[in-house]
């Protein structure tokens, strides 16, 4: 008889499921209604995208309507509004949960999870700046690129990180089992 937690597939599914349920309830019942965490994250992303666009030489309209910035626009355009669903919070949680649940060395997790979270958000900053540029060049292309192009790019990147982690972890685990 196989003990369920010795089976790596069962362990991964169980830990991943429990961690996701814990994250879901933490986010939905506490973080979302009781903290401005999404506001802070959106503000950070918008300010980073503004920095990137200014660095590229674009003049921006600044919208300071309240505590957090959620709108970015190149002068002469309506710009784009960044909502909480686009801040990457849930995607970052799913990334971290996968890495946490998948077998591997904890020492490697300590650098790989922060690396993944930082690069996912860096990609998100580039996505937001790119959407503002799309509005600048041709607003008609905004919806398609928001809904499809950048969704495919960002999710492909996360899947690539997961794939890299699983391949590297499998090599490390099989090397450990040989000794």
Band of pLDDT at residue 8, cut at 50, 70 and 90: confident
Domain ranges of the chain: 4-170
* Percentage above 90 pLDDT, the chain: 81
pTM of the model: 0.89
What is the β-pairing status of strands 60-61 and 80-81?
A: unpaired
Band of pLDDT at residue 71, cut at 50, 70 and 90: very high
The pLDDT assigned to 174 comes to 56
CA neighbor of 116 nearest in space, from 179, 46, 176, 163: 163
The pLDDT assigned to 150 comes to 94
Q: What is the mean pLDDT of residues 87-110?
A: 94
- 71-74, strands of its sheet edge to edge: 60-61, 71-74, 80-81
Band of pLDDT at residue 1, cut at 50, 70 and 90: very low
Band of pLDDT at residue 63, cut at 50, 70 and 90: confident
The pLDDT assigned to 69 comes to 92
């Amino acid at each position: 008889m196989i003990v369920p937690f010795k089976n790596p597939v069962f362990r991964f599914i169980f830990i991943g499921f429990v961690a996701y349920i814990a994250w879901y309830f933490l986010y939905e019942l506490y973080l979302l209604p009781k903290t401005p965490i999404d506001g802070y994250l959106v503000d950070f992303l918008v300010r980073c995208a503004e920095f990137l666009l200014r660095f590229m030489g674009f003049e921006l309209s600044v919208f300071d309507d309240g505590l957090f910035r959620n709108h970015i626009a190149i002068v002469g355009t309506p710009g784009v509004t960044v909502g909480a669903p686009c801040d990457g919070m849930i995607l970052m949680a799913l990334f971290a949960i996968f890495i946490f649940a998948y077998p591997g060395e904890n020492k490697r997790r300590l650098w790989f999870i922060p690396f993944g979270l930082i690069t996912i958000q860096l990609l998100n900053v580039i996505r937001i700046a790119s959407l503002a540029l799309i509005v600048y060049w041709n607003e008609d292309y905004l919806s398609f690129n928001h809904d499809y192009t950048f969704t495919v790019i960002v999710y492909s990147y996360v899947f690539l990180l997961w794939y890299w982690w699983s391949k590297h972890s499998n090599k490390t685990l099989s090397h450990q089992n040989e000794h």
